[in-house]
A = this chain, B = another copy of it.
Amino acid sequence: MRKLIQSVLPVAAAGCVLAATSSVAAPVGQRPAITIPPGAAFSMASIPTFKGEYKDVYAYIDAHKDSDLANLQRWVRQPSISAQNIGVKEMAALAAADLKKIGFKEAEVVPTGGHPGVWGYYDAGAKTTLAVYMMLDVQPVEEADWQVKPFDGALVDHPLGRVLMARGATNTKGPERAFLNAIEAIIATRGKLPVNLMILAESEEELGSPHYPELIAKFASRLKTAAGAIYPGGGQAPEDGAVSVQLGVKGLLYVELEARGNPRTGGPQKAEIHSSWKATTDAPAWRLTQALASLTTPDGNTILIPGYYDKIRQPNAEEQRLFNGTLDGWVKREAATRKAFAVDHWYDNMDARTSLTRYLFDTTINIDGLASGYGGPGTKTILPNRALAKLDSRLVPGQTPEESLRLLKAHLVNKGFGDIEVRQLAGYPPSQTSVEAPVVKALLSTYKKYGLPVDVSPRSGGSQPNYVFTDTLGVAEVGLAAGHGADAHAPNEYWLIDPKPGSKLFGMSAVEKFYVDALYAMAAAK
């Protein structure tokens, strides 16, 4: 799910525990009262500018642009569609071979219960070790919709400049292989890297990373020694080259609720029946509808499950500071965001400040899908034997998927809907970190060296299983967001290689130089 959030940069500093504050608990039927007093605001002015210059490395990068680009093309030309099991093993073998060639002491394909991962260890004899998250798989393609063959690695003229147009170009083989190009440049010019690296790549990101926790567990004792986990990917806004840094993600509870005819509450148990029998027969579709309706107020915006809000904590001092720092930018972007969504107004006509508060600090229960009986054109008169709802709940600090699921199930039982089956499809806790973490400060100082506008937010409203780094390992995960690409899950996916003159966007070589700086900045971070 990483691509759902643009420019993700969550960072958790090991050992940096955020002080708990009071809970937002409110009586059932009221939304949590989240209060953020105006006051101190985080500002990039507090971040020193990184001063490192690595002219020999930059020169090497400039001199090797053709072979660097050829490396990117070699990666995107190897299909690796995890959903269809196309080329996944070949891509893992290719990545492991590249690591070995670059000089990683350990470089191996790692089997899992699903598609294999890749582990690589580069020993620089350095004091600082960084973990590197990578994904090697890509989305499926509908080749007919593409203007080029999606696995040809074509270079195409684009309004933003010359781009590599291919599946995986921006999500995420382009940035990943550019990161390896940067490493090769450092080793070629300086002999070795300023940090030790532990690369742990998976081939199932597009499937929801089902076996990444298994990979993490296999290397946990070594990964725990890392000062941070970095993630090449994300990107700059095309308008002004700005990057967005989000210091956490919400957790996720994803469930299916299903009502079926059953011996206890009645209804047809095997197949739909003629709808005339509604006169005598319990209907699973009504049971599901009524069970769902019991979860929220009539407007669908306040959760009525007792206790669901109780353990959410008020934003702490650092989150308040970050909120106050990011608010102005949101106030400027808010109307455009609504326009892009074709949303006339937020619920309750909330103002921009309130909408940012809810987006960052409130939990949700959302209906992702409803399915029962006949949904096609015209009429069909049936009493369906089953009805299904898909729900997701975004979890904020204080909430856990286990507790949220328990409260949901207890509420259904208490309301007389114990016959509704609740199946968890995904569940992981939120992940949060501090802007004071050394690797975050190192990254921000690198952005500042390049004069990139930076928006630092306490978290995203979206979800990723970042807890495997921040909670399981106690290691921050840091996205490196320079560069630009688009259409990650669509036809004509691209990554920018050569920006138009005057552009504020980084092309491939500029991104590689940025990666060089970031590695040196992190090596020096304290």
Contact = CB atoms under 8 A, between A and B. Distances in A.
Contacts of A378: 208, 425
Contacts of A462: 274, 276
Contacts of A283: 300, 366-367
B280 A370 contact: no
Contacts of A1: 381
Given A267-B343, A276-B460, A277-B341, A369 B380 contact: yes
Nearest to A293: B293
Contacts of A276: 4, 250, 359, 364, 394, 460-463
Contact of A375 (B208, B273, B388): B388
Contacts of A286: 296, 299-301, 367
Interface string A363-392: 111111111111110111111110110101
Task: Using C-beta atoms within 8 Å of the partner chain, give the interface range for chain A.
Answer: 35 or more
A7 B347 CA distance: 54
Contacts of A190: none
Query: So how many copies of this chain end up in the complex?
Result: 2
A294 to B, nearest CB: 8
Contact of A293 (B266, B290, B345, B362): B290
A266 B370 contact: no
Contacts of A369: 285, 372-376, 380, 382, 384
A368 B381 contact: yes
A372 B372 CA distance: 10
A356 to B, nearest CB: 9
Nearest to A1: B381
Contacts of A359: 276-277, 279-280
A274 B425 CA distance: 18
Contact of A299 (B282, B358, B425, B461): B282
Given A381-B368, A390-B380, A282 B347 contact: yes
